[in-house]
Amino acid sequence: MSFRYLGNKTKLTDWIVGEIKQVLPPNSSIADPMCGTASVSLALARAGFSVTAADALTFPVLHARVRLLAKQAPAFKALGGYLNALEWMSSTTPIEGYFFQEFGEAGSPANGRSPRLYFSASNAAHIDGVRCAIRELAQSGVISKIEHSLLLHHLILATNKVANISGTYGYFLNTLSKTALQPITFGPIEFENTIGDHKILQGTIEENASALKVDAVYLDPPYTKRQYAGNYHILETIACEDAPVAAGDGGLRPWQEQASDFCYKRHAANAFRRTLEQLNVPHVFISYSQDGQVQEDELFSILSDFGKVTIHEQPYLRFRSHNRIKKGTVLERLYHIETF
């Protein structure tokens, strides 16, 4: 499963989970409350832990629900089984709706600007068709919550593959790329029957921290100034199944209320401190990049107020996006705090 997601730890999960396994006994419980693609959540689940996954945004919660709770393909009785459900998505009648108008090459954005080239006209209309069909199916009450989440998860994965972007959805490329011209497709995913008792929450770490009753918490906060709510607005709109005002040239949904303090240089250190003050668990693990908003010395000093800190380091290739290329490797750090 490929995800284009800033800070996605898919390539680092062996290292991260390997370090966590050195500390936590088998069958422990651990929370991943900033789960993103849920790649670390799933790797922790594979390692035998019971995982509580959460995120401030809606689409990561969908990913986590599917990746952790769908331990086998759901029955999809209303659609004649899982593979037929994928076929149903592929053959859904296109509609010239919200995605077509706001994000398609032949659209007509409500704010009067020229078409936004996030998708080819046919893919944008296909996305509209699938969104409408999923909404009707859910409203008719013939699919379960996990089936509903799985259909949206598939639509997000398929949309990601044909999006005419480089890196994030902050803006689109000037001309449609080769991949954006390919028709949208819906391929099967693998389901994993992990043994843990997993839970999914939605909300910010500020809202969830004090309620986490687990043996450990793994935090993977944003480390750059790029806000996820703005940079992944299209995926959030698919997950929320709404049609918000698409503002400005990029067509962003209103995201300011979901802005994360971890993305602001002047607030990030305090965000770490407030989070740690609210957590009441014996072990906290934190992934943070050398490039992060909080410098290593300052972060170490904050974390040391809450327990004994150990640092593990791993060289890692920098995230690249179209107009912000920074070459070379960066040190990815995993902090372990054994709390007082």
Ligand X SMILES: C[S@@+](CC[C@H](N)C(=O)[O-])C[C@H]1O[C@@H](n2cnc3c(N)ncnc32)[C@H](O)[C@@H]1O
* Binds ligand X (CB under 6 A): choice among 9, 67, 116, 131: 9
Helix extents (H) in 117-203 = 121-139, 145-162, 178-181
**Contact track, ligand X, 226-265, x by CB under 6 A:** --x-------------------------------x-x---
Q: Does 7 bind ligand X (CB under 6 A)?
A: yes
Q: Does 36 bind ligand X (CB under 6 A)?
A: yes
Residue 142 contacts by C-beta under 8 Å, 6 or more apart in sequence?
Answer: 77, 78
Question: From the CB of 222, what's the least distance to ligand X, in Å?
Answer: 5
* Helix-helix angle 82-90:121-139, to 10 degrees: 130
Question: From the CB of 227, what's the least distance to ligand X, in Å?
Answer: 8
Q: Does 204 bind ligand X (CB under 6 A)?
A: yes
Tokens of 9: 């730890």
Q: Does 205 bind ligand X (CB under 6 A)?
A: yes
Tokens of 240: 């929320």
Q: Does 60 bind ligand X (CB under 6 A)?
A: yes
Helix extents (H) in the chain = 13-23, 39-46, 58-64, 82-90, 98-103, 121-139, 145-162, 178-181, 205-208, 228-231, 233-240, 265-278, 296-304
Q: Does 8 bind ligand X (CB under 6 A)?
A: yes
Segment near ligand X (CB under 6 A); pick from 18-26, 37-45, 105-113, 191-199: 37-45
Tokens of 270: 């305090």
* Count of alpha carbons within 13 angstroms of residue 330, beta-carbon side: 17
Work out whether strand 29-32 and strand 283-289 pair parallel, antiparallel, or are unpaired. unpaired
Q: What does the alpha-carbon distance between residue 311 and residue 205 come to, in Å, rounded to a whole number?
A: 22
Q: Does 55 bind ligand X (CB under 6 A)?
A: yes
* Binds ligand X (CB under 6 A): choice among 17, 30, 40, 216: 40
* Binds ligand X (CB under 6 A): choice among 97, 115, 196, 222: 222
Segment near ligand X (CB under 6 A); pick from 80-88, 97-105, 132-140, 198-206: 198-206
Question: From the CB of 37, what's the least distance to ligand X, in Å?
Answer: 3
Distances 322 to 85, 174, 210 between C-alpha atoms, Å = 35, 11, 39
Residue 297 exposed, middle or buried by CB count within 10 Å (0-12, 13-18, 19+): exposed
Q: Does 53 bind ligand X (CB under 6 A)?
A: no
Question: From the CB of 139, what's the least distance to ligand X, in Å?
Answer: 28
Interface residue list for ligand X (CB under 6 A): 5, 7-9, 33-37, 39-40, 55-57, 60, 204-206, 220-222, 228, 260, 262
